[in-house]
Amino acid sequence: MKLYNLKERSQSVNFDEAIKMGLGRDQGLFFPEKIPRLTNMDELLRMPVFERNVIIHRALIGDALTDEQLNAVVEKTYDTPVKLRPLDDKKGAAYCLELFHGPTLAFKDFGAKYMANCLSQISNQISKESSSNNKITILTATSGDTGAAVAQAFYGLENIDVVVLFPKGKISELQQKMFTTLGENIRTVAIDGAFDDCQKLVKQCFDDAKLVQSLGLNSANSINISRLYAQVCYYFDAIGQLSETERENVVVAVPSGNFGNLTAGIIAKCLGLPIKRFIAATNANDTVPRYLETGQWQPNETVETLSNAMDVSQPNNWPRIEYLVTSGQFDADLLNGVSVTESQTAEAMKQMQQQGYISEPHAAVAYHGLNQSLVEGETGLFLGTAHPAKFKSSVEDILSIELPLPAEIDAVKDKADLSVSMKADIDALKTYLLR
Ligand SMILES: *Cc1c(COP(=O)(O)O)cnc(C)c1O
């Protein structure tokens, strides 16, 4: 199964190369030319999760890993549950797909664990086959949750260093503590700027071929195709948990920032998963909803919102969705965009609270989008991308409640923050990386 560079189609690589390179030439994203179609969907949906996930990944990665390697990766990646939580909704059945039961309480744990486990299988194999220096440096920008997921997934892995860039003062303190307190092979840098500045710095580093070579530079952002592949599986998991009638008209609302999660959902649909249509729900950083409306790609300055992990105005993964549309694999009419205001987000959280469900701003953005759009006879899923306690202060303010801290957060809240501060300056960053 070859992956093509979407900017330079002459470059094609296998999955194991794509995962190591992150980005292709000219900062192009890797993507398969054609998503294969899985057969016997009913049978697949009835299977145990482990077996089904192995089949899905095998279809996507070709022979890049042996059976033994793939089994090990799948076992370690999907060791936490995916839960469907029903809400009583007036218009139709609505479910929250809870993806936050992993070690850092956000869906990004799936992508980070899958990537770390694949890379560690691949690099072990290379070190067995040759004695060359096989050092890898993972450079990642985070709007909050990626940093924690990646840091936890790679913490303590041999031969892999991790550097996480995050926008200074723009993510919650508890979120920050989940990755800045680890130390060892995890270094963290607070950048004076927005997430888009961090993302730009990462891309600039990848433009420097010498730097890439000498550090074995790689990215764990959702520009890395492995992250998205990991997320494809939980869409199957979700649909598999629905009844056969519910499955017929499923609408999925995805709270979107960099659009990796939505891309994974669309890949799942292309693989044959019965999803009727998607809703791309954003906060005020609404480049995609405006683009779907007007056909004009006009990113604005990034603004800060309650759903800060989605404060992205230049979503990296959009070219992948665009490619699925232009290559005729996905019908653009099956995607609606909606931009959700701060007050609508808070209102959606309160509506869920009235139904006995405590949620947080990211899921609430998707819930609002779903509620606006769902019609009679449809079953709605909205993705619960993070545990409410990760956004403790806004959840407590909006819902007038007190949230206990889960053990995962309680363990880090009093530890020292080991991050360093830096201007959004590429030369300063390079010097730091080479130190
Ligand atoms: C990263 C993140 C998102 C956005 O996901 P994308 O794949 O970047 O669109 C949404 N919610 C939470 C809680 C996140 O951490």
Residue 26 covered by a domain: no
Backbone angles phi, psi at 433, to 5 degrees: -65, -35
Determine whether the shortest distance from the Cβ of 390 to ligand 1 is under 6 A: no
Which of these, 96, 98, 89, lies nearest to 371 by C-alpha position? 89
Give the side-chain half-sphere CA count within 13 A for 44: 23
- CA-proximal residue: ligand 1, atom 1 (nearest): 309
What CATH number is associated with residue 282? 3.40.50.1100
Distance 210 CA to ligand 1 centre (A): 32
Distance CA 365, CA 384 (A): 10
**pLDDT tops 80 at residue 163:** yes
- Tens-place pLDDT, residues 172-184: 888 899 999 999 9
Determine whether the shortest distance from the Cβ of 369 to ligand 1 is under 6 A: no
Closest-lying ligand 1 atom to the alpha carbon of residue 312: 8
Distance 214 CA to ligand 1 centre (A): 31
Closest-lying ligand 1 atom to the alpha carbon of residue 258: 8
Residue 163 covered by a domain: no
Please give the residue range of the domain that contains residue 365.
81-103+228-404
- Tens-place pLDDT, residues 354-399: 999 999 999 999 999 999 999 989 999 999 999 999 899 999 999 9
Residue 351 covered by a domain: yes
Distance 434 CA to ligand 1 centre (A): 30
Residue 432 covered by a domain: no
Residue 211 covered by a domain: no
DSSP notation for 296-313: ----------SSGGG--S
Residue 162 covered by a domain: no
The per-residue pLDDT for 133 is 61
With H, G, I as helix, E, B as strand and everything else as coil, classify residue 218: strand
Closest-lying ligand 1 atom to the alpha carbon of residue 360: 13
**pLDDT tops 70 at residue 126:** no
Q: Helix, strand, coil proportions of the chain in percent (round to 5)?
A: 45, 15, 35
**pLDDT tops 80 at residue 202:** yes
Q: What is the pTM of this model?
A: 0.92
Determine whether the shortest distance from the Cβ of 70 to ligand 1 is under 6 A: no
Residue 332 covered by a domain: yes
Work out how many domains the chain is built from and give that number: 1
Q: Is 58 exposed, middle or buried (0-12, 13-18, 19+ CB in 10 A)?
A: middle
- Tens-place pLDDT, residues 18-72: 998 888 888 899 999 999 999 999 999 999 999 999 999 999 999 999 999 999 9
Closest-lying ligand 1 atom to the alpha carbon of residue 362: 11
Are residues 149 and 111 in contact, defined by beta-carbon separation less than 8 angstroms?
Answer: yes
Residue 217 covered by a domain: no
Give the side-chain half-sphere CA count within 13 A for 42: 4
- CA-proximal residue: ligand 1, atom 2 (nearest): 309
Distance CA 390, CA 404 (A): 11
